[in-house]
Structures are given as C-alpha cells and as structure tokens.
Amino acid sequence: MLTAGATLGGDRGTLEIAERILDILGEGRFSATYKFAVLAGLMDLCMERTESDGAAPNMVTTRQLATKIIELYWPQTARFARTSAPNDNDLAILRQGGNSNGEQAEIVGRIVKFRESLQVDPQCPLERARRTAPDEWRKLVDFVEWKLIEYPLPRLQRVGKIHDEFLYRIGWDTDIAKACVSEYQRDAVNHYNTP
C-alpha cells in the first residue's frame, strides 16, 4: 500500500515536486529502470481516483499500480513489423532501453509471455485478455506487483544517498522478502474469493 507523501502547498510546492521528479529521472541510468512507468502509473491512478472535492487519494495499492503498469506496457508488447524487413514473418517487440545484451526487462518480458500464451488473438485488447485467462492474469499481476515492491518503489525517491518520501510512503524497505509478499497476495486472493 502506498500512502501519500508530504503535501507541498501553493505554487512553490508544485515547483518543488517538479524539481524533485526531475532529480529522480536525472539520477543514474534511468533508461534501464521502471521509473518512468511507475511515475506515469502513479499519476494516472491519482487522476483516476481523485476525490469529489478534487483532492488526490490518500493511498493507492501496489496491486492497483501493478495493474496500471501492465496497462501502460500492453501496447508496447504487441509484435510489430520491422521497417527494415517488411516480411510479415519477421515481427519484433519493442525493447525497454538500457539492455545492451538483448535481454528484455523482466516486467515487459513477462507481459510478452502472457500475451503470447493467450488462446485468443495475442493482439487482443487487454480487457479481453484479462477475461480470457483470469488465472494467468492474476499470476502476471502478482509478478509485476512483486517486482515493483522489490525494486523501484523502495528506491524511486532516492537521489544519491538522500531518500525523501515526497510522493509516497511505503511500509517496507529494500530487504523485503518475496515470501512475505507472496503470503500477502495469497491472503488477498482468499479474501476476495470468500463468499
């Protein structure tokens, strides 16, 4: 669960947040991370879940963010014809930047596998894919949620050695164990499947 970070008021507050976000994006090799997707996902969730008075939500869950990340990457995981090889048999998938050894980023790679495992057309819209393969969808969301918990969320608000929770607060650090997250995910499934 992500809770809102410190609120900065007025025009100066907006500028401070923008400056901090630019610092985050400018830090290190951001092309090989999920920083852009996480920030875009958080912005989308905040806009979608805005309160009736216009206030941002007090929290979003890691599950909601994982689903949003999959939605953001879905169009990028569709196969496309390369312009250098117009043959329909030579289709490619966009690669997330920064991977010089030809490997795909883990989240993107897992979305590609889910898409390709569909019995329906792999080019189908995400909502149809989700309904067609609900068990595989849940496993995909579990995986993406774990990856977000494991890496980008506890590190995103760090610039150099300074950690500043100005966007959100989380209840874990970089030492969180996958078993702990898996137990939480199983409990959530059991909770929602109970009559």
pLDDT per position as a tens digit, 93-150: 666 655 555 567 899 999 999 998 987 777 889 999 999 999 999 999 999 999 999 9
Indicate whether 80 belongs to any domain. yes
Indicate whether 118 belongs to any domain. yes
Q: pLDDT higher for 36 or 91?
A: 36
Total domains, the chain: 1
**pTM > 0.85:** no
> How far apart, in whole angstroms, are the C-alpha atoms of residue 34 and residue 146?
13
Indicate whether 129 belongs to any domain. yes
Indicate whether 192 belongs to any domain. no
The residues, ordered by sequence, that sit 6+ positions from 68 with a Cβ below 8 Å of its Cβ are 41, 44, 45
Question: Which domain range does residue 68 map to?
Answer: 2-184
Indicate whether 38 belongs to any domain. yes
The pLDDT confidence band at residue 8, using thresholds 50, 70 and 90, is very low
pLDDT digits (tens, 9 = 90+) for 138-183: 999 999 999 999 989 998 888 888 888 888 999 888 888 888 888 8
Indicate whether 195 belongs to any domain. no
